[in-house]
Amino acid sequence: MAAPTAPGTRAGGGAGRAGRPVPSVASPRRRTSDVLVTAVLVVVAVCFAVPLLWLLLAAVDPGATLQLRLPDEPGLDNFAAVLTPETTLRPLLNSLVLCLSAAAITVVVATLAAYPLSRYQLRYGRPFLYTVLFATGLPLTAVMVPVYSLFARLDLVDTRYGTVLFLAATSLPIAVWLLKSFMDGVPVELEEAAWTDGASAMQSLRSVVAPLMLPGMLVVGIFTFITAWGNFFVPFVLLLSEDKLPAAVTIYQFFGQYGAAAYGQLAAYSLLYTLPVVVLYLVVSRWLGGAFTLGGGVKG
């Protein structure tokens, strides 16, 4: 606040247009409000970071408490304690099997369904799409009670394939919706050559459309995987035997048994469980931020 009366405050505080004199439209006031806004943003950032910092620090602190503190003697003891087959490895493997299967089924089934919806003028195409869109909004939690009783009738409770099919079904609406609009972006002209050569619709889907949509299919697959990986309620209700439970459920049991004492181990387990999701998010965001464009064949 050296000279608020100066006609042209040089933007010394870092605001863009360095050098050029800025018109004096309330610029000193603008500068103080900039500082204020930045201060508020920093406070918000700290509030969001502090709870997570506890998780990161407690995991490497063998004597962790519930308070945020720097470890006296940082070490990997907590990880060593939980990295046993029964505690983390088998549950994480179970999660991997469940989520990979669900993601694969979702992508294949949704791509197949997207093709006629995108390419043919179906009499019931629009109502079907509206229903699918409607289904994306329904609260999944509310379906779990009837799903459990349906599973009990069909003898599907505590089966892996039943849980996988249900997880796939719940992510289908949004997947069909996304893949249909991705497919709309792939020009039909590219397929016409294949048809002229006598390819069937399914052949041209596989050899022309699918390769162009691969990035979109992968993104849908990754998001299905992430959603399924974080889902606690579905496997909590549908799976019972210890050896089938995914990490989402066993980490809850761990919290119930040891959560009141072994904070460091709970934090270490949480990090192990969170890591795959973080990696996948980074992969997707790097990708979406970069050269992710749909229908890449259009320009070439």
Partner 1 sequence: MSVVERAGGPPPAPTAGDAPAPRPPRRRPASRWLVPLAPAVVLLGVFFAGPVVWSVLLSFTDASLTGSAARGTSFVGLDNFVTLVQDPAVWNAVVITVVFVVGSAVIGQNGLGLALALMLRGRGTAVRSLVTLPVMAAYVVPEIVAAFVWYAFLNPEGTLNTALGGLGLPGQSWLFTVPVLAVVLANIWRGTAFSMLIYLAALSQVPADVDEQAQVDGASGWTRLRYVTIPMIRRAIGTNLVLVTLQTLQVFTLIFVMTAGGPGDKSETLPLLMYEQAFQYAALGYGTAIALVLLAIGAVFSLGYIRAIGKEEI
Burial of 58 (0-12, 13-18, 19+ CB in 10 A): buried
Contact predicate 271/56, CB 8 Å: yes
Rg (Cα) of the chain, in Å, rounded? Answer: 26
Q: Which is nearer to partner 1, 90 or 183 (CB)?
A: 183
Q: How far apart are CA 43 and CA 173, in angstroms?
A: 39
- Which CB atom, from 5 or from 121, has the smaller least distance to partner 1? 121
For partner 1, the closer of residues 5 and 196 by Cβ is: 196
12 vs 137 by CB, closer to partner 1: 137
Nearest-approach distance from CB 74 to partner 1, in angstroms:
18
Q: How many Cβ atoms sit within 10 Å of the Cβ of residue 183?
A: 22
Tokens of 99: 């989520």
Q: Which is nearer to partner 1, 98 or 251 (CB)?
A: 251
Of the candidate residues 129, 190, 210, 218, the single one contacting partner 1 (CB under 8 A): 129
Q: Which is nearer to partner 1, 100 or 113 (CB)?
A: 113
Measure the CA–CA gap between 183 and 294, rounded to whole angstroms.
Answer: 9
Q: One-letter amino acid identity for 98?
A: L
**Amino acid occupying residue 118:** S
DSSP state of 243: G
Is 239 one of the binding residues for partner 1 (CB under 8 A)?
Answer: no
Interhelix angle for 210-230 vs 160-184, to 10°?
140
Give CA–CA dist 99/230, Å, rounded.
10
- Footprint on residues 199-238 left by partner 1 (CB under 8 A): 201-202, 205, 229-230, 232-233, 237
Other CB atoms within 10 Å distance of the CB of residue 96: 15
Residue with tokens 């795959």: 276
Scanning residues 264 to 283, which ones bind partner 1 (CB under 8 A)? 266-267, 270, 273-274, 277-278, 281
Looking at beta carbons only, is 3 or 290 nearer to partner 1?
290
Using CB under 8 A as the binding rule, the residues of this chain from 81 to 100 that contact partner 1 are: none
Q: Which of 9, 27, 31, 58 binds partner 1 (CB under 8 A)?
A: 58
> What residue type is assigned to position 136 of the chain?
T
Binding mask 5-34 for partner 1 (x = CB under 8 A): ---------x-x--------x-------x-
Q: How far is the CB of 63 from partner 1 (least distance, A)?
A: 14
Of residues 154 through 173, those in contact with partner 1 by CB under 8 A are: 165-166, 168-170, 172-173
d(CA 262, CA 264): 6
Question: Which residues 133-152 are close enough to bind partner 1 by CB under 8 A?
Answer: 133-150
Task: Return the residue of 9, 27, 31, 54 that touches partner 1, per CB under 8 A.
Answer: 54
